[in-house]
C-alpha cells in the first residue's frame, strides 16, 4: 500500500484531505507544528489505524523531516504547509518569508533526485495573480498585492524552475476559497453562522464587495486526489467553481437560510490593506484533463455546513473566534 505524506495537516484543508485519504484506505503520515485539531474529521475515520501524526516545525527541525522522508520513501507528498492569513502577513512578513519560502526551498532541494518521489503536490492560491476582471488562466502573469501572496508566488515560481531544469515532479493547484464542516471559526462562513446564532454583529470589510468563488471541502479533496493520481508532472491547475458571489451576498445567503435579518447582522468596516477585489479563475484544464466535477452547489454546501456548526455548537465553544499568529 502506498504511503502519502501530508505537510501542514493541522490546517482545515489539510486535516480534511487526510480524512479523505483514510477513507480510500491509504497509509497517511502527517507533519504539523501544532497539536492535532480537536475537531479534525479524520479522528473519527474507521481507518485511523493507517494514520501517523508527527509534531515538528520545519523552521526548527528540518532534519526530522528529512529522516522521516528517507525512512518511509513516500511516493506522494501533499504540501499544505505554510503561514496562512493574508492581513496578518503585513505585520511580520519575515515569518511568512521564512516558512513559505526559505524553509520550503531547503526541503525541495533535499527532495531533488529522490527517485522514490513520484509527485509533489503544492496547494497554492489565486492570490498570486492579484485582482482581475477577466478569467485568469494558469499562465497569467503574477501580480501579488500582499506579503502573503508574494511568498506563494515565489515558491510557485521556484517549483516551476526546478521542474523545468531538474524534472522535479511537482504539480501546483491554485484553489478558490474552500469551506465546509470543521473550518476555523474566524473564517467568514463559520463566523457568519455563529454571529447569527449568537445575535452578534458581524464586521463586514469594504461592505463585502469582494467577489469570490467557493468550493465545498468534499469537492476540494476530490480535486487533489485526482491530481495526485492523474495529473502530468509540471502542470498547474486553477480549481474554481463556476459560481461567483460577493461576500455581501454570501452573508445574505447564510442569513436567508438561517432566517435572520441581514441588516441587523452586519457592521460595515473599512476595507483591508491590499485586498484584491476579484478572483476570476479559468478552471477549464482541471475539468477537461482530470474530469473533476464541482458536485456540491454553494447553497447545498452552505446548508450542510450550517447544520454541522449548529449541531456541534456546544463542542465548538472553546474554539478560537480570532486568528492567533504563530511564528
Does residue 287 contact residue 242 with C-beta atoms inside 8 Å? Answer: no
Residue matched to cell numbers 492560491: 125
pLDDT of residue 207: 83
The pLDDT score that the predictor gives to residue 141 is 84
pLDDT in tens, 190-211: 999 999 999 999 999 888 888 8
| Beta-bridge partner residues of 29 | 5, 52
Element (H, E) at 284: helix 284-289
Tell me the three cell numbers of residue 104. Answer: 520550503
First to last CA, the chain: 36
| Burial class of residue 203, CB neighbours in 10 A (0-12, 13-18, 19+) | exposed
Q: How far apart are CA 213 and CA 280, in angstroms?
A: 8
Question: What does the block give as the cell for 48?
Answer: 485511523
Q: 292 Cβ partners below 8 Å, 6+ apart?
A: 219, 222, 223, 226, 239, 286
Q: Return the SS3 of 127.
A: helix
Domain range annotation of the chain: 3-178+216-239
The domain 3-178+216-239 having CATH identifier 3.40.50.720: the answer here is yes
* Torsion on CA atoms 5, 110, 11, 149, rounded to nearest 10: -140
- pTM greater than 0.85 (yes/no): yes
The C-alpha angle with vertex 124 and arms to 214 and 175, in degrees rounded to 5, equals 20
The ranges of the chain with pLDDT < 70 are 1, 87, 272-277, 321, 323-327
Residues in the chain, how many? 327
| Residue pLDDT, tens place only, 58-114 | 989 999 999 999 999 999 999 999 877 776 778 888 888 888 889 999 999 999 989
The interaxial angle of helices 188-197 and 298-311, nearest 10 deg, is: 50
- Closest by Cα among 264, 249, 260, 238 to 299: 249
Beta bridge partners of 78: 6, 121
DSSP letters spanning 228-268: HHHPPTT-EEEE--S--EEHHHHHHHHHHHTT--HHHHEEE
Which pLDDT score, from 0 to 100, does residue 314 have?
A: 84
In this prediction, residue 13 carries a pLDDT of 94
Phi and psi torsions of 128, nearest 5°: -65, -25
User: Which backbone phi and psi does 18 adopt, to 5 degrees?
Assistant: -60, -45
Amino acid at each position: 500500500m502506498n504511503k502519502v505524506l501530508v505537510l501542514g495537516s493541522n490546517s482545515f484543508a489539510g486535516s480534511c484531505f487526510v480524512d479523505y485519504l483514510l477513507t480510500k484506505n491509504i497509509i497517511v503520515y502527517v507533519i504539523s507544528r501544532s497539536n492535532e485539531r480537536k475537531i479534525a474529521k479524520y479522528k473519527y475515520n474507521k481507518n485511523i489505524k493507517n494514520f501517523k501524526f508527527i509534531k515538528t516545525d520545519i523552521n526548527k527541525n528540518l532534519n526530522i523531516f528529512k529522516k522521516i522522508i528517507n525512512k518511509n520513501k513516500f511516493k506522494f507528498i501533499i504540501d499544505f504547509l505554510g503561514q496562512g492569513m493574508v492581513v496578518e502577513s503585513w505585520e511580520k512578513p519575515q515569518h511568512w518569508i521564512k516558512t513559505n519560502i526559505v524553509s520550503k526551498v531547503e526541503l525541495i532541494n533535499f527532495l531533488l533526485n529522490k527517485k522514490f518521489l513520484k509527485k509533489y503536490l503544492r496547494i497554492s492560491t489565486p492570490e498570486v495573480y492579484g485582482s482581475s476582471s477577466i478569467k485568469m488562466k494558469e499562465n497569467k502573469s503574477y501580480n501579488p498585492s500582499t506579503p502573503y501572496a508574494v511568498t506563494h508566488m515565489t515558491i510557485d515560481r521556484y517549483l516551476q524552475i526546478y521542474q523545468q531544469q531538474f524534472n522535479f515532479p511537482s504539480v501546483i493547484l491554485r484553489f478558490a476559497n474552500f469551506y465546509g464542516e470543521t473550518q476555523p471559526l474566524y473564517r467568514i462562513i463559520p463566523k457568519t453562522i455563529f454571529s447569527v446564532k449568537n445575535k452578534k454583529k458581524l464586521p463586514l470589510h469594504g461592505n463585502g464587495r469582494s467577489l469570490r468563488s467557493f468550493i465545498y471541502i468534499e469537492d476540494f479533496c476530490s480535486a487533489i486526489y485526482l491530481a495526485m493520481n492523474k495529473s502530468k508532472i509540471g502542470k498547474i491547475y486553477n480549481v474554481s467553481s463556476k459560481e461567483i458571489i460577493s461576500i455581501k451576498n454570501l452573508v445574505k445567503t447564510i442569513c436567508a437560510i438561517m432566517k435572520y435579518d441581514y441588516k441587523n447582522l452586519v457592521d460595515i468596516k473599512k476595507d483591508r490593506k491590499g485586498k484584491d477585489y476579484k478572483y476570476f479563475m479559468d478552471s477549464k484544464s482541471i475539468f477537461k484533463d482530470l474530469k473533476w466535477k464541482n458536485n456540491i452547489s454553494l447553497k447545498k454546501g452552505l446548508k450542510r455546513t450550517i447544520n454541522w456548526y449548529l449541531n456541534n455548537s456546544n463542542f465548538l465553544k472553546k474554539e478560537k473566534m480570532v486568528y492567533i499568529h504563530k511564528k
